[in-house]
Structure formats: structure tokens, C-alpha cells
Structure 1
């Protein structure tokens, strides 16, 4: 790469800095100058990758959408094959992972989601696309109608409660919710 041209590393550093700013100070604290300063690049270096605050938020959302999609696919792949595989992945994602990992993932996503929503709700398009793919996967999961979507909605509810600082379930509550949702994965009794 010729001298003076920003590289892919600087793009990642800019996104990391922007995310850190949004997590610490919200979207109002995110300026192109602050992101450039936080990334250790010139404003021109930032503008090479992101021509505006909207472009920077779009880059953040794209990155979050990508890691959510990849993490979800890996979690699904780690589940036993068969009906309920996607729903079990949803449960692992929302309830069975270590609370620290769930909180870190939620906090990262929440900051970016709120920043984008505050700036321009239309920017959430990449996240909506990921969620639509998840809903399609749940619908095709081989469970009775409503079971997989109930599990997904429960996970979304926990995320939203954390997103807005409403509550964080205790470990006992998490285990009880997990057990209740697991019953939705049990085979239905034969109506022979």
C-alpha cells in the first residue's frame, strides 16, 4: 500500500473508536473528529473510509450485523441436528451462555442500535435483514407453530430489558426461563 493511504487496519480502528465513543457517551458524543482522534488517524484518514457520520454509523451497523449473523450461525451449527435446532441456538444465545458473554454482546449491540436509531432509524436496515433471516430460520425449524417464535421473542425481551436498563434477570430467573422455554422443544404428545 502506498505511503499516506489508510489501510484496512485504520478502518477497524476507526470503527472500534466510534463504538467505544457511542458506548461511553452515546450518539451525541460521536463526531468525526472524536472518532479520528480515538482511532489515532487524521480526519482525512477517517474521511477516506467514512465520508459522513451517517456512513460511520452505517459501517458500525454493518459490522454488528455481520458478527451477529456469524455468531448466530456458529451457535446453530453447535446444536444437534433436527427439529428445534435453531430454537435451541436462540436459547443458548439468550440464556445458556455465560452471563458475561451475553451482557458484553448485548451492550455492544445496544450502543450501536441506539446510536443508529437516534440518528436515523432507516440505518437499522442491516440489522432488520439479519433478524428477518433468523425469523425465517425459526419458522423452518420443524417445531409446532409459535414455539420457536416464542423462544425468539423471549430472547428479544431479555435483550430489550437490558438495552433500556429495565432489569437484568438473576441467575435463578434465567435458569427458570430456560427451563420453561425448553419445554417448548419437547415433542408434542401424539393425538392418536
Structure 2
């Protein structure tokens, strides 16, 4: 049985995320989130006392989902040198190929938080810091794992801002070039 408070909270977060994704940051108001979630403004205020609290909830949920997804990607890789970097490549080029729904949701939440208060991104920064720490211990040549992370982050940012779109062939070439960085340190 689903807890009604949890269900309301999830509906509010889903509605807020959809508003930002579809209509942009300025359209996210407590009233709009309550209306789109199908609850009263008082019901929304029970869970989120302010727009900042709502954004904090969005980022917390996203950070948790990112950490879980990345951990799954790591554990799906064989142990040994480059395991975390291989996971990062699988994660970036697998289910989360630029243009997928998860990336679009993440982009909307990141931009909303950054627009409101860049400090709200701290939970996401913590996930990235954990990834970087794991990459630093990955056993690859100095800089190789960081280059992989920078490249995959660059693909994400090019998608977020519509800077450019790589063709399938170009994505395959980038993946092949990044795979070459997986050589263990000597």
C-alpha cells in the first residue's frame, strides 16, 4: 500500500519537474505545482514550505536516483582496472544517450536550481565528487578517467543547451576514442 503522504509528495515533485521541463523555470510556482499535482496549495505547503524547499526536494530525489543508477552501472562492470570509467561510459552511452528522458529531466532540474540558487546543486555536486573519487582510484593512466568524465559531461551539456548534436556515427567514434583511454596505468 502506498503512503498517501509519499504519494502526494511524489506527485508534487513530478508536477514541478514537468512544469520546468515543459514551460521553463519562470513557470514553476507553488500554485502551478499544486494545480498540476492535483492537490491544494495547503497540501503542497505541508510538504514544501517554499519554492526553495520544492527545488531542494527535486534535487535530492534526482541526486539519489543518479547515485543509484551509477552504482548499478559500476556493479554491472567486471572488477578490475577501469571499472568505474567503463561504468561511466556504459551509463553515458547506454540508457542515458543524449536526448533520453532521464537527461531531459536532470537538465530541467539542474537549470531550475541554478536559476534560483546555485547552492541548491550541492547534492548533485556530492554525487559527482563521489564519482570523481572512484575514478581517481580506478587504476587508469593519470588523467584518463577524468577525460572520460569530462567528455561524457560535455555530451550532456551540449544536449542541455542545444549546442550541437552528434550523429550516431560520431557518437560511435567518440565512444571508440574514449574506450582507448581505458588502458590500465603501468
| TM-score when normalising by structure 2 | 0.94
Supply the RMSD in Å over aligned alpha carbons. 1.6
Which residue of 2 is the match for residue 42 of structure 1? 40
Q: Does 1:110 align with 2:110?
A: no
Which residue of 1 is the match for residue 19 of structure 2? 21
Once residues 183 and 130 of structure 2 are traced to their aligned partners in structure 1, the CA distance between those partners, rounded to angstroms, is 24
Identify if the C-alpha distance between structure 1 residues 29 and 91 changes in structure 2 by more than 3 Å, giving closer, same or farther.
same
Once the two structures are superposed, what CA deviation does each residue of 1:109-134 show, in whole Å capped at 9, x if it has no partner? 00000000001111111011111101
Once residues 9 and 20 of structure 2 are traced to their aligned partners in structure 1, the CA distance between those partners, rounded to angstroms, is 16
Moved more, 90-99 or 70-79: 90-99
Q: Does 1:147 align with 2:144?
A: yes
Once the two structures are superposed, what CA deviation does each residue of 1:81-112 show, in whole Å capped at 9, x if it has no partner? 10100000111111244747x62221110000
Identify if the C-alpha distance between structure 1 residues 175 and 65 changes in structure 2 by more than 3 Å, giving closer, same or farther.
same
Which residue of 2 is the match for residue 9 of structure 1? 7
Which residue of 1 is the match for residue 69 of structure 2? 71
Secondary structure at 2:100 match in 1:
helix
Q: CA deviation at 1:187?
A: 4.1
Gaps of 5+ in 1: none
Which residue of 2 is the match for residue 55 of structure 1? 53
Q: How many residue pairs end up in the alignment?
A: 184
Q: Is the 8 A contact 1:6 1:45 kept in 2?
A: no
Secondary structure at 2:150 match in 1:
helix
Which residue of 2 is the match for residue 180 of structure 1? 177
Identify if the C-alpha distance between structure 1 residues 146 and 125 changes in structure 2 by more than 3 Å, giving closer, same or farther.
same
Q: Is the 8 A contact 1:87 1:138 kept in 2?
A: yes
